[in-house]
């Protein structure tokens, strides 16, 4: 008989399978000798109380062994010569998965990508990291794998009903992602492993008869006699025809959205969130979340700690987003007149810093006007204002001494946020907070007002009186509390 059992074990017993036997037997009310096999199928950390524990979900073979488990493998489908052609614009996660799905359905995907392949693309990140100069069409967002390639690779989602989540994990493992993602309650791949996974997915598409074309930017649509879509026009003047066109161009390709408006395609504004990215010493987050004194070393069995914050201010949700333990802040702009950042970490999550986005929701109704792209204009305005307000100056070393939000440099190095020419701030004082919300409410405000918001955060950063970061009053943490965060640092 095969059973599924949940047990809770101490940190020390996490890797000691023999130590799992007794609690499993107790749960099943059987003698441990009847257990012939144990397999971990889900794992999470319970850090709500001290001591921190591991929650394990196990498959248990009672009176019989467990069936062997094969690792997910990608089966290359065979495509018929007369397969219908699907043009997929964009080789990000959406484009790659759409291509694999087309192959499953017997359709031939032709993926068109404006950027370079993942290996070549890597070299194009240097100018933005070193000088803040964006290479158009080849940057943190554009190129093979889209924004996903150098992303953090956090795969956690609560939206299990919206798609086959397990199948997505299996597809990623079949293309080289670590098998742990099948078990971990908060699966994570890491920026260093993702390019390999993305390239393996492209290999699968090509081996199965699909095509992936790089440095091929779509700039227009081809119409038939009855105005039906019959393909796309590329920036080099080439035309690509097909039976269906899928636009998987992501959220950074504002030019494609404008093209869609010009082409009179139906678009709807949707809610989104804007905010800032904050950075703390990882040791601070570890000590708070895992309940130990700062300065002690984190137990080696525990990963860099995460946190999650959510609250409502004046009826509007403010929450942490895309928290990267042991990670880096990276510049994610796609144009040279803007500053926008994101966060990522390597698979081992061992940077001395933790960062997270702190965002507030913006509804389409917050933005006056009829223009369907008004949210995009607001976003652009904010990113441009960030540039004008001089976020580049954050690289200057005097800001290293900014208390609270800017962690002390570790071993004399710059913080990753400084390296990323980025923003590290939180709605620390009421002025900043209300400015933040005001902008969120009146996003159509002139550039001046938006710049005011950015300036307010900037002032908060450089103004020594703005040091009191007390998240316990500003936010009600979703899980455990992070209070009075490091007044010293």
Ligand X SMILES: Cc1cc2nc3c(=O)[nH]c(=O)nc-3n(C[C@H](O)[C@H](O)[C@H](O)COP(=O)(O)OP(=O)(O)OC[C@H]3O[C@@H](n4cnc5c(N)ncnc54)[C@H](O)[C@@H]3O)c2cc1C
Contact 277, 355 (CB under 8 A): yes
Using rule CB under 6 A, residue 109 touches ligand X: no
* Residue 23 vs 190, nearer CB to ligand X: 190
Site string for ligand X, 162-191 (x = CB under 6 A): ------------------------------
Applying CB under 6 A, the span of 14-22, 68-76, 151-159, 273-281 interacting with ligand X comes to 151-159
Per CB under 6 A, 354 contacts ligand X: no
Judge contact between 424 and 279, C-beta under 8 A: yes
403 touches ligand X (CB under 6 A): no
| Neighbouring C-beta atoms of residue 38, cutoff 10 Å | 18
CB 355 within 8 A of CB 416: yes
276 makes contact with ligand X (CB under 6 A): no
When asked if residue 110 is in the footprint of ligand X (CB under 6 A), the reply is no
The verdict on 139 binding ligand X (CB under 6 A) reads no
Q: Which stretch binds ligand X (CB under 6 A): 72-80, 107-115, 271-279, 456-464?
A: 107-115
Q: How far is the CB of 380 from ligand X (least distance, A)?
A: 16
Dist CA 304 CA 287 (whole Å)? 10
Which residues does 126 contact at the CB level (< 8 Å), separation at least 6? none
Task: Tell me if 218 contacts ligand X by CB under 6 A.
Answer: yes
Contact range with ligand X by CB under 6 A, out of 23-31, 134-142, 434-442, 477-485: 134-142
- Decide: is 252 part of the binding site for ligand X (CB under 6 A): yes
Strand-pair category, 327-331 with 316-324: unpaired
Under 8 Å CB-to-CB from 149, ≥6 apart: which residues? 118, 121, 143, 194, 195, 198
Among 23, 72, 109, 143, interactor with ligand X by CB under 6 A: 143
471 binds ligand X (CB under 6 A): no
If binding is defined by CB under 6 A, does position 325 make contact with ligand X? Answer: no
**Stretch of 71-79, 166-174, 244-252, 351-359 lying at the interface with ligand X (CB under 6 A):** 244-252
Cα separation, 305 vs 307, in Å, equals 7
223, β-bridge pairs: 229
Size of the site for ligand X (CB under 6 A): 37
Span near ligand X by CB under 6 A; candidates 17-25, 55-63, 138-146, 271-279 = 138-146
Whichever of 322 and 462 has its CB closer to ligand X, that residue is: 322
The answer to the question of residue 319 lying near ligand X (CB under 6 A) is: no
CB 489 within 8 A of CB 281: yes
Q: Which is nearer to ligand X, 153 or 477 (CB)?
A: 153
Residues 75-94, interacting with ligand X (CB under 6 A): 89-94
Q: How far is CA 83 from CA 103, 104, 105, 135, 198, in A?
A: 10, 12, 10, 37, 25
CB 489 within 8 A of CB 404: yes
Q: Rule CB under 6 A: is residue 135 a binding residue for ligand X? A: no
Q: Which stretch binds ligand X (CB under 6 A): 44-52, 144-152, 201-209, 415-423?
A: 144-152
**Which residues of this chain interact with ligand X, rule CB under 6 A?**
89-95, 112-115, 140-143, 146-148, 150-154, 217-218, 248-250, 252-253, 256, 322, 330, 332, 342-344
């Amino acid at each position: 008989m095969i059973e599924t059992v949940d047990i809770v074990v101490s940190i020390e017993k996490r890797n000691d399978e023999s130590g799992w036997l007794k609690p499993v037997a107790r749960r099943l009310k059987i003698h441990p000798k009847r257990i012939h096999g144990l397999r971990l199928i889900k794992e999470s950390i319970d850090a709500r109380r001290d001591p921190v524990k591991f929650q394990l979900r196990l498959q248990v073979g009672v009176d019989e062994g467990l069936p062997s488990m094969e690792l997910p493998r990608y089966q290359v489908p065979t495509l018929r010569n007369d397969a219908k052609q699907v043009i997929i614009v964009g080789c990000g996660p959406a484009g790659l998965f759409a291509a694999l799905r087309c192959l499953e359905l017997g359709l031939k995907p032709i993926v068109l990508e404006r950027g370079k392949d993942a290996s070549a693309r890597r070299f194009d990140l240097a100018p933005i990291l070193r000088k803040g100069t964006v290479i158009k069409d080849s940057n943190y967002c554009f190129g093979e794998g889209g924004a996903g390639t150098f992303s953090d690779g956090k795969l956690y989602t609560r939206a299990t009903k919206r798609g086959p989540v397990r199948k997505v994990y299996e597809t990623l493992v079949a293309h080289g992602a670590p098998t742990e993602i099948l078990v971990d309650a908060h699966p994570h791949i890491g920026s260093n492993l993702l390019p390999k996974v993305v390239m393996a997915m492209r290999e699968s598409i090509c081996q199965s008869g699909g095509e992936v074309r790089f440095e091929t930017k779509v700039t227009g649509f081809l119409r038939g006699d009855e105005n039906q879509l019959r393909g796309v026009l590329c920036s080099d003047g080439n035309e690509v025809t097909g039976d269906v066109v899928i636009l998987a161009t992501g959220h950074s390709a504002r030019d494609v959205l404008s093209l869609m408006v010009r082409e009179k395609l139906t678009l709807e504004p949707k809610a989104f969130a804007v905010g800032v990215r904050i950075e703390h010493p990882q040791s601070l987050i570890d000590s708070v979340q895992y309940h130990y004194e700062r300065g002690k070393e984190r137990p080696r069995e525990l990963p860099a700690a995460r946190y999650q914050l959510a609250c409502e201010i004046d009826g509007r949700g403010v929450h942490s987003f895309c928290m990267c333990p042991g990670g880096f802040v990276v510049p994610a702009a796609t144009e040279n007149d803007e500053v926008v950042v994101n966060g990522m970490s390597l698979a081992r999550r061992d940077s001395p810093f933790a960062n997270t986005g702190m965002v507030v929701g913006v509804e389409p109704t917050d933005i006056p006007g009829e223009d369907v792209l008004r949210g995009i204009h607001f976003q652009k305005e904010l990113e441009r204002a960030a540039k004008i307000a001089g976020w580049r100056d954050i690289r200057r070393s005097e800001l290293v001494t900014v208390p609270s939000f800017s962690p002390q440099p570790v071993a004399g190095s710059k913080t990753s946020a400084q390296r990323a020419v980025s923003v590290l701030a939180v709605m620390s004082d009421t002025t900043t907070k209300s400015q933040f919300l005001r902008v969120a409410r009146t996003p159509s405000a002139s550039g001046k007002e938006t710049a005011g918001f950015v300036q307010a955060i900037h002032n908060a950063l450089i103004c020594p009186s703005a040091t009191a970061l007390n998240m316990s009053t500003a936010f009600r943490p979703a899980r455990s509390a992070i209070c009075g965060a490091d007044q010293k640092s």
